[in-house]
Structure 1
């Protein structure tokens, strides 16, 4: 990896900012992890949603450590291991979808109040470790982020790319990029639960709807990944 002190300050800031944007782009799209975060936030409050987000982020840190240790190369060369991980991830998603259905039914039948014991961190952490999207990311893009090099972000843009070439160059394999990446993820797992909780306070009936949506998303992803594994 690039030593931190070898980059001029403007290049370092660009690399960190690129990492933040990339982290947000990685964390924000709808998927099983955000379904778990939303469910925990709307049922038990911001702390539970934030804890679930931290669980997913800690799993990413584990993948980063494994990638640095070279374990990713071993998994890449073992298709059966990859398929087994996808299958386990699918089963876990179906299991958590069943839990979301139970919570949705409970919220629909009684007046919902935030609270109750939260297992969001553990649930999100275990699910993230077998989430095929996260596994695939660290097997492919994640490895690329660790290899020293440069990415001219704006150059490939149609029409304006040539004029903007060299304006936003990110240094891959640099600690600043990884710091920005996890900083972007942290921004998302802090702000997303807060948005869900604020919306629930305005629309009280949102709680069971979010729980049902979480169940549908987790079921869909679970069935899809099980199909892929076989």
Structure 2
């Protein structure tokens, strides 16, 4: 049960932070919740591709280097939380769909870095058992976020920021502790 809960929160830590994908999801959700979810589904497909790469190539990385990735990932998560406090809502009006989400996800530096650090940590610490709940967390986000945005519009943005900051800082601290534990 703990692995499932952790997986959902890690999935949310991947999907929830404000960024280009969520900006397009929000803009498309103002048109229709399905338009917003289609963008999120495309980005989630990119995450599945990155998961496969991470899972099958993780044993190539030397063990002592992995913990430095954990430390870097923990610092990245905390930095992203800080960046969220400075971010402003996007007012882009770009047509979004599944392919847009996929292309943005595949080329998004945040997602690539996330999988090299946090994703590697997740797969090494919890193995494949966490993957269903991880993607469950992403699905919760890509369904609920467009639904809420569609219903109440941009007023929801501050709550998203607060939730994102809490999840990112919490998981960042957890990664830092694990990374430093082996080095000390």
* Common fold: TM-score over 0.5: yes
Aligned to 1:139: 116
CA RMSD of aligned residues (A): 2.6
Answer yes or no: is 1:199 the counterpart of 2:152.
yes
Q: Are the counterparts in 1 of residues 36 and 96 from structure 2 also a CA contact under 8 Å?
A: no
Structure 1: gaps spanning 5 or more residues: 1-12, 75-99, 105-117, 150-171, 201-205, 211-230
Structure 2: gaps spanning 5 or more residues: 62-90, 158-184
Decide whether aligned partners of structure 1 residues 59 and 73 sit closer, same or farther in structure 2, where only a CA change above 3 A counts.
farther
- Matched residues in 1 for 2:111 and 2:152: separation? 28
Aligned to 2:136: 183
The alignment of Structure 1 onto Structure 2 pairs a total of residues equal to: 127
More helix by share: 2
Answer yes or no: is 1:45 the counterpart of 2:32.
yes
- Matched residues in 2 for 1:146 and 1:35: separation? 28
Q: Secondary structure at the match of 1:22?
A: helix
Normalised to the residue count of structure 2, the TM-score between the two structures is: 0.62
Runs of 4+ residues deviating >2 angstroms: 71-74
Aligned to 2:7: 19
Aligned to 2:57: 70
- Matched residues in 2 for 1:28 and 1:182: separation? 13
Q: Are the counterparts in 2 of residues 72 and 139 from structure 1 also a CA contact under 8 Å?
A: no
